[in-house]
């Protein structure tokens, strides 16, 4: 087993197939049934909101047919089958699901395959097939919260794969594709029922997290009840279906400033321009209340893209030191219109 100290909770377990998920080699004419312990792990991790993907050797159409005939295909959000390096397959899966490689684990019966993945992708945790039944007991596979959305996360990512395929087939430009989705974002104050998902977002989201902070349920509850803070959640849907809760902002009302202490978006919607939409709304809300929009930003290894998004939204650096940035929008020079591909609905406070 390969793991990293203080590594984030696993978001996706990538399975080798032959002699790992099932006992046999499909391309050699076998018709193997899945190992019972593998089925138990598939079900338990799925219940916790951990995704499954596959990276196998062979011909894709043969493997896909076997997955379907054995009733296994629905477990997987992405399937990569071919003859290339397993590390390359894992990279493609991470890109397709838009999650960090440090949140992926890989399981394979072949020590050489595991060594190849570790050599190319040292941040990916690797496990031998014999340990499949033990994975649910490991800390890396135990999310802090198991929310109602966690159990449905696989469906959300499967729908996202459909969006990905639709985008691949779209023959016009990027903006035209976004316009075709019919995106609708609903912004509303966090309620008691939302707090578990809000806390889960702060723990799971790193690439689009402005400060890298995490908030527990009790802290979010306190901030939601505070007259000096605004905790807002963003939900998103399009013509394919509902993304669920995908964004969170925590704003402190400090004098004449509206200070954005935390803003994050799920990596699932990074390519939809939703960060710009949420930022534009927060800026316009602050200006409408006669406040200067301010934001705190703590650079990390993975959130640089969010800083670029904030600067495009109108935030300029006012204070910079080695640990953090303070950015602000000049009320005399407010930003222009919000991105036009998303309709925004504001819920009641």
CA 245 to chain centroid, in Å, comes to 11
Q: Considering the chain, what is the average pLDDT of its residues?
A: 86
pLDDT tens figures, 257-296 = 999 988 888 877 777 788 888 899 999 999 999 999 999 8
Q: What is the model's pLDDT at position 243?
A: 82
User: Percent of the chain beyond pLDDT 90?
Assistant: 41
Q: What is the average per-residue pLDDT within 18-27? A: 91
Tell me: pLDDT of 330 over 80: yes
Q: What element of type H or E holds 114?
A: helix 111-120
What is the domain class of 173-346 according to CATH? alpha beta
* The pLDDT value given to residue 148: 62
What are the φ and ψ backbone dihedral angles of 299, each rounded to 5 degrees? -65, 135
Question: Which pLDDT score is estimated for 194?
Answer: 80
- Range 36-47 average pLDDT: 95
Q: What is the DSSP letter of 268?
A: G
**Order of strands across the sheet with 12-15?**
78-82, 51-57, 12-15, 104-108, 125-128
The rounded distance, in Å, linking the Cα atoms of 331 and 285 is: 12
pLDDT of 1 higher than 60: no
| pLDDT tens track for 132-183 | 999 999 999 998 777 666 667 787 777 776 777 777 777 677 778 888 888 9
pLDDT value at residue 273? 81
By CB atoms closer than 10 A (0-12, 13-18, 19+), residue 239 is exposed
Which residues on adjacent β-strands are paired with residue 2? 126
Map residue 241 onto helix, strand or coil.
strand
Position 6 confidence tier, pLDDT thresholds 50, 70, 90: low
The architecture that CATH gives domain 12-141 is 3-Layer(aba) Sandwich (3.40)
Nearest to 312 by CA among 272, 346, 339: 339
pLDDT at 251 over 50: yes
pTM for this prediction: 0.59
**Could you tell me which residues are beta bridge partners of residue 234?**
187, 247
Q: Is 348 helix (H, G, I), strand (E, B) or coil?
A: coil
Rounded to 5°, the CA angle 162-95-235 comes to 55
Strands lying side by side in the sheet with 229-238: 316-320, 325-328, 292-297, 257-265, 241-254, 229-238, 183-189, 342-346
What is the pLDDT confidence band of residue 4, given thresholds at 50, 70 and 90? very low
Q: What is the mean pLDDT of residues 211-228?
A: 84
What per-residue confidence (pLDDT) applies to 88? 95
Annotated domain spans of the chain: 12-141, 173-346
Q: Tens of pLDDT along 87-133?
A: 999 999 998 888 889 999 999 999 999 999 999 999 999 999 999 99
Residue recorded with tokens 């690439």: 207
DSSP state of 79: E
In this predicted structure, what is the pLDDT of residue 199? Answer: 77
End-to-end CA distance of the chain: 48
Rounded to an integer, the average pLDDT of 27-53 is: 92
pLDDT of 324 > 60? The answer is yes
pLDDT computed for residue 206 by the predictor? 55
Give the per-residue pLDDT at 2.
Answer: 46
Give percent of the chain above pLDDT 70: 91
- pLDDT value for 184: 92
- The helix/strand/coil state of 215 is coil
């Amino acid at each position: 087993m390969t793991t990293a100290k203080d590594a984030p909770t696993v978001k996706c377990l990538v399975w080798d197939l032959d002699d790992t998920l099932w006992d046999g080699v499909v391309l050699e004419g076998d018709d193997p049934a899945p190992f019972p312990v593998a089925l138990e792990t598939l079900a338990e991790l799925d219940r916790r909101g951990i995704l499954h993907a596959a990276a196998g050797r062979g011909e894709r159409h043969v493997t896909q047919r076997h997955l379907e005939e054995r009733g296994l295909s629905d477990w997987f959000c992405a399937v990569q089958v071919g003859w290339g390096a397993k590390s390359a397959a894992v990279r493609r899966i991470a890109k397709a699901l838009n999650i960090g490689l440090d949140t992926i684990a890989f399981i394979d019966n072949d020590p050489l395959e595991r060594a190849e993945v570790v050599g190319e992708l040292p941040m990916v945790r690797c496990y031998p097939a014999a340990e499949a039944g033990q994975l649910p007991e490991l800390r890396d596979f135990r999310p802090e919260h198991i929310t109602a959305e966690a159990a449905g996360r696989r469906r959300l990512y499967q729908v996202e794969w459909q969006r990905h395929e639709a985008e691949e087939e779209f023959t016009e430009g990027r903006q035209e594709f976004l316009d075709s989705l019919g995106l609708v974002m609903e912004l509303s104050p966090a309620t008691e029922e939302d707090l578990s998902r809000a806390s889960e977002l702060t723990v799971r989201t790193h690439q689009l997290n402005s400060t890298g902070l995490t908030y527990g349920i009790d802290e979010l509850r306190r901030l939601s009840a505070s007259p000096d803070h605004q905790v807002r959640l963003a939900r998103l849907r399009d013509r394919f279906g509902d993304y669920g809760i995908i964004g969170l902002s925590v704003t402190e009302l400090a004098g004449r400033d509206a200070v954005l202490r935390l803003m994050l978006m799920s990596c699932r919607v990074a390519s939809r321009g939703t960060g710009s939409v949420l930022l534009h709304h927060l800026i316009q809300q602050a200006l409408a209340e006669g406040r200067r929009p301010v934001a705190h930003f703590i650079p990390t290894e993975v959130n640089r893209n969010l800083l670029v998004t904030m600067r495009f939204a109108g935030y300029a650096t006012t204070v910079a030191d080695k640990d953090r940035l303070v950015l602000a929008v000049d009320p005399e020079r407010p930003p222009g219109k919000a991105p036009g591909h998303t309709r925004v609905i504001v819920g009641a406070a």
